[in-house]
Amino acid sequence: SYVLTQSPSVSVAPGKTADITCGGDNLETQSVNWYKQRPGQAPVMVIYSDSDRPSGIPERFTGSKSGITATLTINRVEAGDEADYYCQVWDSSSLGVFGSGTRVTVL
């Protein structure tokens, strides 16, 4: 089955930059989506199709991809950015695949 690998946690000081990575085989051919989930809440899409940002999501959130690694970057981190972040793709064999999630802690 297809696997997306994320680091378990990232800690960042307010105002700094957080990079959350997501790796997978042949990821260069996949369209990557990113979701933010705060405790007790439903996920919210923050990036889709590798780098597109939906309306209502701050410009501080950007997505990129290089080879088999996708990156969600949060600039000028704020306390409200503290959450779990999941990458996700649709794979031809495994169908819906989510990464294991990265917990972002704002120091």
Q: Which residues on adjacent β-strands are paired with residue 4?
A: none
Residue ranges in contact with another protein by CB under 8 A: 1, 31, 33, 35, 37, 41-45, 48-49, 54, 84, 86, 88, 90, 94-101
H or E stretch at 63: strand 61-66
The residue whose two tokens read 């970057």 is: 73
Q: Which tokens belong to 2? A: 């297809």
- Tokens, residue 82: 């503290």
Please identify, using beta-carbon distances, which residue of 9 and 90 lies nearer to another protein. Answer: 90
Smallest distance, another protein to C-beta of residue 42, A: 4
Least Å distance, CB 80 to another protein, is 18
To another protein, the closest distance from the beta carbon of 13 in angstroms equals 26
Q: Which lies closer to another protein via its Cβ, residue 17 or residue 94?
A: 94
**Residue whose CB is less far from another protein, 42 or 79:** 42
Q: What is the dihedral of CA 51, 74, 44, 59, to 10 degrees?
A: -60
What H or E segment, with its residue span, contains residue 5? strand 5-6
Smallest separation (angstroms) from another protein to the CB of 14: 26
By C-beta, is 45 or 68 nearer to another protein? Answer: 45
Alpha-carbon span 1 to 44, nearest angstrom: 25
